[in-house]
């Protein structure tokens, strides 16, 4: 055996040993790639929820959009991790989309509420807000009200209707609405949704405006950016869940100033431009506060959203999908059975038809499978049904490469060449065909991946990536592994008979 063949064989053995270790160990930690938990299964194989959101970058300069999208991804990752979802897959797609896969989560509404809300917390008051009186009776179900002076209001104002002593009670709060249009001629205010309550002539319409304080001589609104911590707690006197929040130093100063001037008046707590609570301030407060009126699930999600920060831009849900866990498990079982049966049939065909080269090629295919799966585990790749299909196709292409080589070798043997010369000529003559077909496949994979990235088609991206890796490894195993095996085995006297290489 020549020195080159000996070194190549040793390298193959070391690679096989490394791949086997990667596959057998649950978690891997390597210097260059860091810690990896291993290959993950896609939602179509284990069940869960897939959400794709589009970020509204209309007010963001183009140079800032990539950074903002990465920031959105980090915030969503923190939200999901705090919520306790195991092994989520969060990926940016194109320039303005983000894909979120939540294994085991089948409640779509819960997932959307956790992920998609901007969670911009604001505190508003009525002390600086304009007010007017209702001049026509407004019934529950109406989406417009008529006032005596519409000029006092602006589009986007949050309003409540009723005298001061009712403006902060629970019933009045449910009727908080946002103004979407103003008709100055008729003094009509159009609201973002229909009223829940009846309102009579003369009732006051109060406007909520951002509550502000002064920091270092500059007037600033009190928002969630000053939060230091938020957590779910149980209120002792009512045994109801609340969200308890704590301010940083600037937030505490603003909160102290605002609550100090609003004693006896309501302080509106606004989340994403929706008034969710308006407690009456009983005394000046500084470091912390609570948000009431939530059930356990709402309190948990709100605490997570406040603790992880608001999204920098609004998100719009463009696609949602839910896969039942039972269906995913069934798909995985059937896919594994199909893959094992298919691989066994291919190996049997190779051995029966090509004899000794078929046996060596079968070993190469097993090595190929170990290499590919170990790469998937180290990346790690999220394996979906589309990815499994790509893996099976790449196995077929690996078989095809071996068939080309063996057929070329048989032609050389028929031309009366020696066994060693025929093997070398077979590989040399088959290589251009193998190279050209695989390069064409690489180009196709790149195109598919680009289209999948641009149009938010994660299965297409997974198919393209898996096929690319599989075909690249198949070239290595066909040209290097199988060739080395044949070069080594042909030196053994017992297998030098031509009959072992062709029928």
CATH of the domain at 17: 1.20.1640.10
Residues 127, 267 within the same domain? yes
Q: Distance (Å, rounded) from C-alpha 276 to C-alpha 232?
A: 16
Residue 167: per-residue pLDDT: 44
Residues 211, 232 within the same domain? yes
Q: What is the pLDDT along the chain (503 residues), one digit of tens a residue?
A: 577 778 888 888 899 998 888 888 877 666 655 566 667 777 777 778 889 999 999 888 888 888 999 999 999 988 888 887 766 888 888 888 898 888 877 778 888 888 888 888 899 888 766 678 999 999 989 999 999 999 889 898 888 887 654 445 555 566 788 999 999 999 999 999 999 888 888 888 888 888 999 999 899 999 999 999 999 998 877 788 889 999 999 999 999 999 999 888 888 888 887 888 888 888 999 888 888 878 888 888 888 888 888 888 899 999 888 877 665 667 667 777 887 888 888 888 888 887 778 888 888 888 988 999 888 888 777 777 788 888 888 888 888 888 888 888 888 888 888 778 888 888 888 889 889 999 999 999 999 988 887 776 777 888 898 899 999 998 888 888 888 888 887 777 655 665 566 55
Residue 291 lies in a domain: yes
Residue 309 lies in a domain: no
Tell which of 300, 333, 352 closes a domain: 300
Residues 263, 214 within the same domain? yes
Letter string b/e over residues 231-243, b meaning 16 or more CB atoms within 10 A of that residue's CB: ebeeeeeeeebbb
Query: Phi, psi (5° rounding) for residue 265?
Result: -125, 160
Residues 79, 139 within the same domain? no
Residues 289, 383 within the same domain? no
Q: What is the number of structural domains in the chain?
A: 3
- Does the model's pTM come out above 0.85? no
The residues, ordered by sequence, that sit 6+ positions from 214 with a Cβ below 8 Å of its Cβ are 220, 257
In 3-state terms the chain splits into helix, strand, coil percentages (rounded to 5) of: 50, 25, 25
> Tokens 């309190």 map to which residue?
299
Q: Distance (Å, rounded) from C-alpha 133 to C-alpha 115?
A: 39
Q: Distance (Å, rounded) from C-alpha 57 to C-alpha 31?
A: 38
CATH of the domain at 104: 3.30.70.3400
Residues 182, 202 within the same domain? yes
Residues 477, 344 within the same domain? yes
Residues 203, 75 within the same domain? no
Residues 164, 92 within the same domain? no
Residue 43 lies in a domain: no
Residue 58 lies in a domain: yes
Q: Which tokens belong to 14? A: 């070391």
Residue 305 lies in a domain: no
412 close to 498: Cβ distance less than 8 angstroms: no
> Tokens 């509404």 map to which residue?
109
Residue 375 lies in a domain: yes
Provide the domain limits for residue 296.
Answer: 119-300
Tell which of 322, 356, 390 closes a domain: 322
Helix (H, G, I), strand (E, B), or coil: what is residue 277?
A: strand
Provide the β-strand partners of residue 274: 271
The residues, ordered by sequence, that sit 6+ positions from 288 with a Cβ below 8 Å of its Cβ are 244, 245, 246, 247
Residue 502: per-residue pLDDT: 57
Residue 37: per-residue pLDDT: 63
Q: Distance (Å, rounded) from C-alpha 66 to C-alpha 60?
A: 10
Strands (DSSP E) along 6-162, which ranges? 28-30, 34-36, 40-41, 48-55, 89-93, 97-103, 121-125, 131-133, 144-146, 158-161
Q: Report cis status (omega within 30 of 0) of the bond before 218.
A: no
Residue 250: per-residue pLDDT: 94
The per-residue DSSP string of 472-502 comes to: HHHHHIIIIIHHHHHHHHTTSGGG--GGGT-
Residue 257: per-residue pLDDT: 94
The per-residue DSSP string of 330-370 comes to: HHHHHHHHHHHHHHHHHHHHHHHHHSHHHHHHHHHHHHHHH
Residue 306 lies in a domain: no
Residues 329, 235 within the same domain? no
Residues 72, 169 within the same domain? no
Query: Phi, psi (5° rounding) for residue 210?
Result: -55, 130
CATH of the domain at 197: 3.30.1360.200
130 close to 207: Cβ distance less than 8 angstroms: yes
Nearest to 486 by CA among 9, 113, 69: 9
Strands (DSSP E) along 332-470, which ranges? 382-383
Strands (DSSP E) along 156-263, which ranges? 158-161, 177-183, 188-191, 204-210, 212-215, 218-221, 227-234, 241-247
Residue 278 lies in a domain: yes
Residues 289, 330 within the same domain? no
Q: Distance (Å, rounded) from C-alpha 176 to C-alpha 170?
A: 10
């Amino acid at each position: 055996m020549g020195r080159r063949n000996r070194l190549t064989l040793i390298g193959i053995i070391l690679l096989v040993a490394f791949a086997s270790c990667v596959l057998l160990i649950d978690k891997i930690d390597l210097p260059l790639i860091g810690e990896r938990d291993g290959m993950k299964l896609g939602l179509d194989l284990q069940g869960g929820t897939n959400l794709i959101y589009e970020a509204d970058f209309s007010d963001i300069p183009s140079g800032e959009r990539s950074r903002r999208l990465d920031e959105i991804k980090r915030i969503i990752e923190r939200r999901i991790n705090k919520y306790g979802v195991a092994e989520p897959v969060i990926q940016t797609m194109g320039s303005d989309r983000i894909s979120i896969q939540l294994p085991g989560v089948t409640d779509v509404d819960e997932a959307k509420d956790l992920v998609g809300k901007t969670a911009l917390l604001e505190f508003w008051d009525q002390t600086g807000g304009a007010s007017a009186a209702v001049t026509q009776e407004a019934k529950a179900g109406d989406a417009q009200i008529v006032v005596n002076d519409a000029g006092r209001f602006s589009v986007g104002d949050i309003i409540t209707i009723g005298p001061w002593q009712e403006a902060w009670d629970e019933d009045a709060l449910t009727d908080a609405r946002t103004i979407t249009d103003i008709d100055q001629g008729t003094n009509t205010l159009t609201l973002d949704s229909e009223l829940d309550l009846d309102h009579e002539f003369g009732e006051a319409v109060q406007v909520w405006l951002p509550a502000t304080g002064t920091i270092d001589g500059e007037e600033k609104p009190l928002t969630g950016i000053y939060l230091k911590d938020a957590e779910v707690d149980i209120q002792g006197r009512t045994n109801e869940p609340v969200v308890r929040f704590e301010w940083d130093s600037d937030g505490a100063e603003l909160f102290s100033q605002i609550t100090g001037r609003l004693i006896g008046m309501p302080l509106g707590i606004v989340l994403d431009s929706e008034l969710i609570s308006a407690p009456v301030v009983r005394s000046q407060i500084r470091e912390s506060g609570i948000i009431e009126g939530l059930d356990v699930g709402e309190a948990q999600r709100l605490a997570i959203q406040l603790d992880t920060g608001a999204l920098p831009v609004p998100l719009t849900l463009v696609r949602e999908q839910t896969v039942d866990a039972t269906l995913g498990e069934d798909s995985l079982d059937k896919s594994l059975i199909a893959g094992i049966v298919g691989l066994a049939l291919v190996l049997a065909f190779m051995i029966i038809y090509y004899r000794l080269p078929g046996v060596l090629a079968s070993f190469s295919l097993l090595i190929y499978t170990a290499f590919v799966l170990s790469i998937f585990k180290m990346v790690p790749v999220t394996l979906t049904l589309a990815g499994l299909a790509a893996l099976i196709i790449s196995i077929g292409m690996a078989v095809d490469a071996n068939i080309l080589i063996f057929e070329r070798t048989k032609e050389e043997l028929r031309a009366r060449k020696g066994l060693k010369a025929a093997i070398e000529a077979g590989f040399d003559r088959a290589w251009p065909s193998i190279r050209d077909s695989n390069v064409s496949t690489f180009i196709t994979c790149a195109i598919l991946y680009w289209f999948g990235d641009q149009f938010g088609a994660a299965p297409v991206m997974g198919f393209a990536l898996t096929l690319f890796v599989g075909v690249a490894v198949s070239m290595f195993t066909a040209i290097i592994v199988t060739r080395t095996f044949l070069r080594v085995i042909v030196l053994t006297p017992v297998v030098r008979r031509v009959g072992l290489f062709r029928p």
